[in-house]
Structures are given as C-alpha cells and as structure tokens.
Structure 1
C-alpha cells in the first residue's frame, strides 16, 4: 500500500500530533508499506491512499476528499475556549466529505459523533503506541522534582500549575517547564507569573528538548504534571506512565481511562484549589510517590506498541 500522509506545515515538530504522524509512518514502512509525509494538499494520484491529518484538513478542497481518510487528533475548533464556531462548521463539512476517519482516542471519536454528526461506523480509534522506554527511578533527593513537558500554549494550562504550586510555599519542590514557545506572549506571561507569585526561584524554563537532553529531563524527575484544559489523548502522560512516573493530570480526553487511580491524580481542568491539594499530598509523601510510581510502571507496560497500532491503521486504510 502507498500512503500519502498530509499535515499542515504549521504543525509543531514536537507536538503529539507530529510525533504520532512520524512514528506511525515509520512503523507502516517497517510493515512494508510506502509512506510519503508531505504538506502538499493536492489530491493524490490514483492508487495512493490519501491520509489527511486534521491540521491540514481546512486547506483541502472538498472535491478531493471523498476517497481520503482523515486522521483526527482532536478537532481544531476545540483548540481554544470558547470553541471556534466558524471552524466547527468547516470541520463538520470536511468530516462528512471523507470516506473514513481515524481518531487517536475513543473520546475524540465520541466527540465527533456527538458534536459533528459523524456516523460512528465511519470512525476507527487508534491510540498512540509506545516504544520500550527506560524506567525513571526518581531522584531520591529531598526536593520533589516536577516535570511539565508540553508546548507553551494556553491550552496546556501551565499557568494553572504555577498558581497551584505557589500555594505550597512550605514544601520542598522544583518545577521544570520544558517545551517549544509556540505562543511567545503566553510563554513570557508564564515567566512573569512565576515572578508575580514569588516562585521564580523554584521554576526552571527549559527550551524544547530532544535526544539526550530530553532523556536527562526525564531522569531528573520524581513527578510528572500537565494541567491541560483540553486534549484528545495525551501522549506525554502515557509516556510518563511507561517510564514509571506518578502523574498529575486533568480530566480531559482519554485521561480518565489512561490513568488509573493508583498511578496518579486527575483533577478538573482549571481547578487551582483541587490541583494544589493533590500536589501537596504527592510532594509531601515520597512513599506515596513510590507506590504510585510502581502502579504507573505496571500500567505503562500494558499500553500498546507502535507496531500494533500501525497494523491497525493499515487495516483501516484499506477501502471497504
């Protein structure tokens, strides 16, 4: 099978969507398929399966989509709050035009059915896979090292995390916020907020990291925290579980089914008080973190591999 996977040129290279696209493409190739990753939105020649990432869908012509499959990480219209109604109408048209839709979580599939009038039988959920990853043993030091790894954009809610931690002035913690500054205004606002809350000495802003620099961040972590307002799946939480780290998350997307009650805590998006109470328990009690780390490790090992998910995608791309 020859697949043309189309994504928008503006899709950040280290976003969950971009990582999913690259990794699933590599695994499809390992299965013997040909995959072209491109930003060219022109219709694919006959005999080539056109798989269109949701980031590129708005730029597509409706006339080119009847034979295509859409890959929806989450609807673009839900990227911000309140939802973009103009984009929602456009996406509703686009979703109706493709022959099939692949989502990266069951929750996104359910959302398309409920809010975008997509027939359930035309959707195949295929969650991200994971490679084998080294276990994070924790630092063992007196300071609870917290890692927040995500793009610096409002949807990721790093400001909520800062506000929650600022209440814990009596505890020994340090937060590393790492990620691309895709929204410089928001990123600068986070630094200003840390100063305003008088916690700047407890917070390190780390640039976007890959390779060994990224592995070093994971190794120096006792607790992973991300307080997104909205996610389709939440690949980085799954990676934290795979690495054996207790997690702090928000009740959004696939998170409630991904994170068991003994592997971390799940709070309501934007609820600073609830989040602060949860963080207090975990920072104060290293034994609780160790117990949750073991549960996280066990849960992480049960998550699917990328090869498994590539096989599912290949089957979903074959025309009925």
Structure 2
C-alpha cells in the first residue's frame, strides 16, 4: 500500500543545530524512509517575528497546497502566523508544537499575551497536533483548548552511540544547549564558580543562537574567574560532540524550561548521570534514578547537586548505570516517524472519504 504524500513547512535552515531543527529534520527523513513523498517547504527564518513580506510569502506557499496534501507546520510558524490566512487553507493541517511560544523565556507580558492568543486561536484550525512529550500535550489540552484525542506524542528518537565511554580525569561536566537565555548557561557558570574547591573541568557546547547573550556569557565567565576551567565550545561537529559525551562523567543543563530536551536522551544514551532543573518536561524525560533535579534560576542548589556527584563517586557510578539502562530503551528516529506516519495516513483516509461523499452528493 502506498503511503500518502504530504508537505512539511519549516522556517529557516533545516540543518540548524538546535533540538527543534534536529527533531524536524530527522522526522522529515524518517517519513521519507517509510515511503511518504514529503515536500519540504522552507519558509523565512524570521518566524516567529516575520516581516510583512515573509508572512505574505508563507501564506502564498501554504494556501497553494491542495486539499489532499496534509501539511505538518512547524510551531515557530504555527504559533505566529496570521489566523485569518490559516483559516483559508485547503490542506489539512498538522501542528508540530515543541512547546507553546508564550512559554519562551524573556518575553514581555504584552508579547507573551499576544503569542498565547494567536497560538490558541490557530490551534482551532489544526486537524491534529504532534508534540514531543506528555508535558506539552497536557499544556495544550489544559491551557489551549486542544482536544486530547487530536494530540499524538511523537517522542524524539535517539542514535545509539558508536564509541565506548572513557571518562577522563578530572571529571568532565558536559552541558549541551544553544547559547540562549532559556538554556540557563549563566546559572550553570554561577554554580560552577561556587564549587571551585572540587576537582573538575567543564565544557558548554552550543551555537551562539542569541549573540548578545553569548557575549554576556563570555563576560560572566571572565568575571567568575572560570576561563581556565570552563570551555565555551560553541558549535562543534557531530564527531566532536560524541567525543565530549564519551569523555564526560556528568551531564548538566540548568535550563529554565524545556518542552522536551533531546540532549537529555543523548545523555541517557551515553550513560551519564544528569543534573538539571525541575521544569517543563524535564521530570518526565529524565528518570528519577538518573537525575538530580533542582529548582530553576537557583545556582546554589544546582551547585550542591554537582558537588554531590563529584564527591560521591559510588553514587555517580550507580546513576550512570541507571542512565545506561534507560538509554537502551529509548525509541529510534524511525519510531518517531511512525507516529507521524499514522497521523498522515489517517488524515489522508478521512480526506478521501470526504471527497468521495462530496462527489456522490453532487451527482445528478
């Protein structure tokens, strides 16, 4: 049986190294591997703050899709595109919501309110919604009025490590996340500054997504006297990142919020104990026996959790073993694609039935 064709609209460069882009690129590839003919529509990278020209171009491309071509629409676009234009689309829409845009860090009250109302209104036009976590599904059902029956959880897949874990000494604390305020690298730096009496080294991997924040991180690193012990590695190759994971003893991310957090699964796949924050989807993603989760925005509890693992090697090893066990149960990217494939197939079947009924009703 041939699988239905579809379209997937994503803003900007699909090869951008953030969790959301990695997720959508692998989902697109997985759908094609399963046999779907999926058209990739590249919209302007300016979403969720498009210029009038970029908004008009997006609406032109999306409204041109035929009614028998289901469209997966990225959340950066879905939560900010014009509601009136969305209502005029013929193609059945699948919203891909990593986390609601109104939950992003650093928004003004006015901006947060606008994004909330726009996304809530736009979600009424989604035939189905794909989310990466139960946490996001709960938020959409509770706060955005989405019918739980129209939500499917497509948990991110994970690639199995090819190398062998070889922790180095002094223990390497690894953090992975773009240099954006939401990732909490400033909190991590402050936490590290309070445990300089311990023996450790640290690397923070992630592109400078927010240039001003990236500069602030360098300034904070200098101010805290961490230039010799913490490496702000920026963007690295997949091979370099794999090497960091293999040499690390602890994974640490002081995130302010996560709709999922692919990097936690990467840490599990590499058998690393995790120190992070009790926020968003993190408690659902990080098994209790693997992670020490503390309140967000608080460097001292984060530092204390790191200190526990540095001082208690037996505890660290026990958590590492639990992490390795959990990592073996993680889904593959093809598993992720199968969830979306089932959604597209169901929508296509529904559209075919509706079309046949219209033909019958219009016959003389």
- TM-score, normalised with respect to structure 2: 0.83
Shift of 1:130: 1.3
Shift of 1:172: 0.9
Alignment match, 2:100: 75
Q: Is the 8 A contact 1:136 1:221 kept in 2?
A: no
Q: How many residues align?
A: 319
Shift of 1:307: 1.5
CA distance in 1, matches of 2:81, 2:338: 28
* Superposed CA offset, 1:227-285 (max 9, x none): 11011011100111011111111112222122222212111111212111101011222
2:302 alignment partner, one of 258, 275, 279: 275
CA distance in 2, matches of 1:244, 1:196: 33
Shift of 1:306: 1.5
Alignment match, 1:301: 328
1:225 alignment partner, one of 241, 252, 256: 252
Shift of 1:136: 5.2
Mapped pair 1:103 → 2:118: no
- TM-score, normalised with respect to structure 1: 0.94
CA distance in 2, matches of 1:95, 1:135: 43
Alignment match, 1:114: 142
1:238 alignment partner, one of 265, 271, 274: 265
Q: Is the 8 A contact 1:136 1:244 kept in 2?
A: no
CA distance in 2, matches of 1:199, 1:175: 10
Once the two structures are superposed, the pairs formed by residues 128-139 of structure 1 within 5 Å of their partners are 128-134=156-162, 137-139=165-167
CA distance in 1, matches of 2:302, 2:251: 13
Alignment match, 1:51: 72
* Superposed CA offset, 1:8-56 (max 9, x none): 1277711111111111111111111112222243222242211101012
1:7 alignment partner, one of 5, 10, 18: 10
CA distance in 2, matches of 1:138, 1:116: 46
Alignment match, 1:193: 220
Structure 1: any 5+ residue segments left out of the alignment?
none
Q: Is the 8 A contact 1:134 1:243 kept in 2?
A: no
Q: Which has the larger radius of gyration?
A: 2
Mapped pair 1:28 → 2:27: no
CA distance in 1, matches of 2:89, 2:200: 53
* Superposed CA offset, 1:195-240 (max 9, x none): 1112221111112012322222222211111111011011100111
Partner-residue secondary structure (3-state), 1:261: coil
* Superposed CA offset, 1:140-191 (max 9, x none): 42x1101111100000000011111111021011111111101111111111
Partner-residue secondary structure (3-state), 1:260: coil
* Superposed CA offset, 1:43-102 (max 9, x none): 222422111010122235222277211000111121124561111111111111111111
Q: After the TM superposition, which of the residue ranges 44-53 and 69-78 deviates more from structure 2? A: 44-53
CA distance in 2, matches of 1:200, 1:65: 55
After superposition, the Cα gap between the structure-2 partners of 1:166 and 1:136, relative to the gap in structure 1 and judged at 3 Å, is farther
Q: Is the 8 A contact 1:234 1:253 kept in 2?
A: no
